[in-house]
Amino acid sequence: MKKNESKPVEPTKAPAVEKEPTVSVFIPAEGNGAYLEGALNGVNFRIPTDRIVEIPERIARIVKESRKGLTDGAHAVAAFAESGGRKIG
């Protein structure tokens, strides 16, 4: 090779992207409307309600934790109301 000649550039392939594991979930529409919407790490998601859908496991964990928080909150409010509004716990 001469001094001013450049070596040909080999094309590179993009690395294979692993498919994210998914799970089947059913989210009732009660209080959610037609879709459950949210965001995780700057990525928005919109999940249809009242039917079984496949979603990534990481999103399913967030949905599960959110539903648990709503249920726990409802139980706490009920306990507060049953005790006449006094401090509980």
Distance CA 62, CA 68 (A): 10
Average pLDDT, the chain: 81
Is it the case that residue 1 has pLDDT exceeding 60?
Answer: no
Q: Would you state the pLDDT for residue 46?
A: 92
User: Does the pLDDT of residue 73 top 60, yes or no?
Assistant: yes
Where is pLDDT greater, at 62 or 32?
62
**Which helix (H) or strand (E) covers residue 60, if one does?**
helix 57-82
Tell which residue, 55, 45, 49, 1, has the closest CA to residue 23.
55
Q: Encode pLDDT of 22-48 as tens digits.
A: 999 998 887 768 998 888 888 899 999
Cα–Cα distances in angstroms (integers) from residue 69 to residues 29, 56, 66, in the given order: 17, 20, 5
Comparing 25 with 19, the larger pLDDT belongs to 25
Q: Which of 59, 51, 49, 54 lies closest to 24, judged by CA?
A: 54
Q: What does the domain layout of the chain look like in residue ranges?
A: 22-82
53 or 29, greater pLDDT: 53
